[in-house]
Structure 1
Amino acid sequence: MTGTPAPPGCVLCGGTVAPDGYCWDCGEPQPAYRSHIETTLTGAAGVSDRGKRRGVNADAMALTSAGAWTIGVVCDGVSMSPRPERAARVAADVGAAHLGAGLRVGTLPETVLVDAAARAGRAVSALAASVDEAPACTYVAGIAGPEGIWCAWIGDSRAYWLPDDGTCVALTEDDSGRHDALTAWLGADAGEPVASVRSHRPPGPGRLLLCTDGLTRHLPEAEGLRAVLARRRPSTPSDHSLLEDARVLIGYAMNAGGQDNITALLIHVGDTDHREFPASAP
């Protein structure tokens, strides 16, 4: 007898698992849901992992293209909020979709980045049952094209420029205050934060990195991030893989303790051959 296998039951009560990774019956998160995700696109790749100490991966990423533009969005669900993984997933998808639509019709990068972050914020706010029960997340988006790279952010997810040669640059500044507490995020309890935007016109090839604080708590400096990648076994241009680069960054954070969810998304900029290989199954 053949047919579609039944979905796995809840690890605690055996009940039905909903699409967001929570049990319909007891409401508990399922540890394996989105525990490790890999995605690739021509000239770009991303990896997201639950880490070693979190029950659910509340990070999310989106990767797409629009003409000559490559678009990446990375979001980190705020752990103290309800359903943070849902907030991150919605923000990443809505932000990437709006960026693609705007860039296709020729909207200025600065304008479309601010508008996309606002759209993502409204979508996350709509998830709230009330202001006191408001899913929340941080947000960072990056776009790369022939004219350079641009990024926008709200919260403490970050963007870095990692050139093949030359000085590395931290492109974002955390929206945080005393004791690293967030001062801006997406959610119904955050008002309407406006994304900060920064542009950079690289003189040579390199990688735009978008990541969550699960990585930067272990590698906060741009030069340190590039140094970890430089320790990879040397590869020729024909077999170089951005997906492997992202895996290396995730592996470093895991070896350092994996205390939080970890996401690293890399977009190649320039003329070096960075061919991608298929991502492994989640």
Structure 2
Amino acid sequence: MLMSFPPSKSDATVKFDGVTVEFPVYSAHGRSFKRSILQFTTGGRIGLSSNQRVVISALNNVSLVAEHGERIGLIGHNGAGKSTILRAIAGVYEPVHGTISICGRVASLIDLTLGMDMEATGYENIRVRSLLLGLTPAEIDARIDEIGAVSELGDFLSMPIRTYSSGMLLRLAFAISTSIDPDVLLMDEWISAGDASFAKKAHHRLMELLGRTGILFIATHSDAVIRNYCTRVIWLDKGTVRADGRPEDIVREYSEWMNSGGAVQPSEGVS
């Protein structure tokens, strides 16, 4: 169950209480399928539901609390559950067990071009994409000129975006997506946009966005992102929280585990 409450940056919180997210595999044949691949999976746990249907437990009994001011990095191998946590917070995935409680407005930068219409103009896409990000029509009217200026697309904003190069489309999507004022911000890897001249502006704008954000969740494979932007790290392994704590401690534990081929256990006190 997902419960959301009105936005308030100073009181922004995210709470997972015994959250399990499962995906049924309808094409699999029960036990024979499970036996054949259970030992080889690197993603979520494979099991059987009460009606003997094969299910993937992308998250398994996950509990955590995030509070205002925290910048949380999610680490782990591919399939560990990082993106599933982001999508569960965004309301894309609903838990089969447990509850997710969120105080504040959630904004996602997982897919910058979500909802964009290739036949519509740049200006029209600013309005549609901004609505999907949770801005009101009045907020969009107040920001549309600033978004256009950040994109540096000029007269092209009056043209259908199918006429844009991939770099132009990314500039527009980035300018729109970073115009929000979220209580909880979700990112899947750090965003970089455009050529060298635009990248500097993009970095500055992204840092301004983080300054307006109550809580950040970012799934990443980059140690540099963890060191530079995170105050806390959660290490996920097969849909469970393996360790949760200070970035330097958890990154060290994770690196040792990776280098040992998964043989090293977390130290005592890291939970």
Same fold (TM over 0.5): no
Question: Which has the larger helix fraction?
Answer: 2
Higher relative contact order, structure no. (Cα contacts within 8 Å, ≥ 6 residues apart): 2
With the length of structure 2 as denominator, give the TM-score of the two structures.
0.29
With the length of structure 1 as denominator, give the TM-score of the two structures.
0.29
Q: Which has the larger radius of gyration?
A: 2
